[in-house]
Amino acid sequence: MKLSEALREFDLSLVGNAADSTRVWYQQRLGALVEFTGDVEIEALTISHLRRWRASLIERDRRWQDHPTRPEEEGGLSPWTVRGYVRAIRAFCNWLVSEGLLVSSPAARLRLPPKPQNRPKAVSNEDVLAMLEVANVRDRAIVCVLAATGCRVGGLCDLRLSDLELEHQPARAMVREKGHGGKKARLVFFGPQTVSALRAWIAIRPDVGGDDHVFLGQRGPLTEGGVYQVLRRLAKKAGIEGRFNPHAFRHAFARGALENGADLGTVSQLLGHSGIGVTNEFYGRWSVDELGRRSEKYGWFEKKSAEDL
């Protein structure tokens, strides 16, 4: 069986068992393997092929490190993305074995690259405010929702008018985001600034074929790529050199909540994570300076007066 044919069968096995976004995630990563190795017979796929492929991804990781503020434009891959590629091929090879298509997995000894030590960077508060200064009515509402709720970009794109509860205190919205077996619905919450921005947009929002998506482009609902382009345009207009992609807003939300004293359990639920381990791994990492400040803020001993000691 050719590699491309096996990938089609693997994708079929995911139908009804994984979200569409998960299927796309596998297609993108495993499709890159076909481009690298060619459409070989699956029996010909060796650990040597996979190690050379992993090495090519790590080279793109180095490109990412060289251009940390605009990695996508330089064709780079973040360390987390490289790990995702390797996890995808390991899952695919395990599936080949479970289906009886291979006797053993060629990826069994393919090791994951180490986790990066530096925490992923979030969009800064100053950059968010700068983007709001140059945004039109629709784009201001987009920035506000991303900054205030920490929702995933897919949840923002799929947001419907009927999902909004602007009269509620605090205001809230139902978002549908990726999850095992399909999209999960969850509530996100926001305050008066975001309510005001949404009301202003809804008041002038065009009717595009009766579509009830909150955020529309010229031809219909705004896509995830469209949101990235919106933020890219705002960042350029505002002269921003730091991170601006949609997920950077999610990082900023999580980091801000933790820095303001929220516990991991609360932040985990607000982000829609399956457990606090995910939240801690990706958002609960602190630099040396940040740890020093948090030690000073939360430690009790140095706050005791000399008379108490």
80 falls within a domain? yes
179 falls within a domain? yes
Model pLDDT, residue 229: 94
Higher pLDDT, residue 94 or 219: 94
Among the residue ranges 47-61, 85-99, 137-151, 267-281, the one predicted with the least confidence is: 267-281
Same domain, 14 and 75: yes
Mean pLDDT value of segment 168-173: 92
Model pLDDT, residue 112: 87
Same domain, 54 and 158: no
Same domain, 132 and 203: yes
238 falls within a domain? yes
Domain that holds residue 161: 125-246
Same domain, 152 and 203: yes
Same domain, 47 and 131: no
103 falls within a domain? no
| pLDDT band at 73; cut points 50, 70, 90 | very low
Same domain, 145 and 220: yes
User: Of 225, 246, 267, at which residue does a domain stop?
Assistant: 246
Mean pLDDT value of segment 268-284: 72
Cα–Cα nearest to 254, from 290, 231, 283: 283
The domain that holds 166 is classified in CATH as 1.10.443.10
Same domain, 144 and 213: yes
Among the residue ranges 22-31, 99-108, 145-154, the one predicted with the least confidence is: 22-31
Distance (Å, rounded) from C-alpha 151 to C-alpha 271? 7
Given a cut of 90, is residue 12 above it in pLDDT?
yes
Higher pLDDT, residue 2 or 57: 2
Same domain, 82 and 150: no
pTM: 0.62
| pLDDT band at 198; cut points 50, 70, 90 | very high
118 falls within a domain? no
Which string of b and e fits 50-76 if b means at least 16 CB within 10 Å? beebbeebeebbeebeeeeebbeeeeb
175 falls within a domain? yes
Specify the DSSP element, H or E, that contains 176. strand 171-177
286 falls within a domain? no
Cα–Cα nearest to 200, from 241, 238, 130, 145: 145
| pLDDT band at 75; cut points 50, 70, 90 | low
How are strands ordered across the β-sheet holding 184-190?
164-165, 171-177, 184-190
Distance (Å, rounded) from C-alpha 178 to C-alpha 185? 9
Among the residue ranges 63-77, 197-211, 285-299, the one predicted with the least confidence is: 63-77
Q: Give the pLDDT confidence of 30-62 residue by residue, as tens digits.
A: 988 888 889 999 999 999 999 998 888 888 766
Same domain, 142 and 35: no
Specify the DSSP element, H or E, that contains 157. helix 153-157
Same domain, 160 and 214: yes
41 falls within a domain? yes
SS3 88: helix
Same domain, 190 and 233: yes
Mean pLDDT value of segment 95-111: 93
Same domain, 221 and 148: yes
User: Of 228, 246, 264, at which residue does a domain stop?
Assistant: 246
User: How many separate domains does the chain show?
Assistant: 2
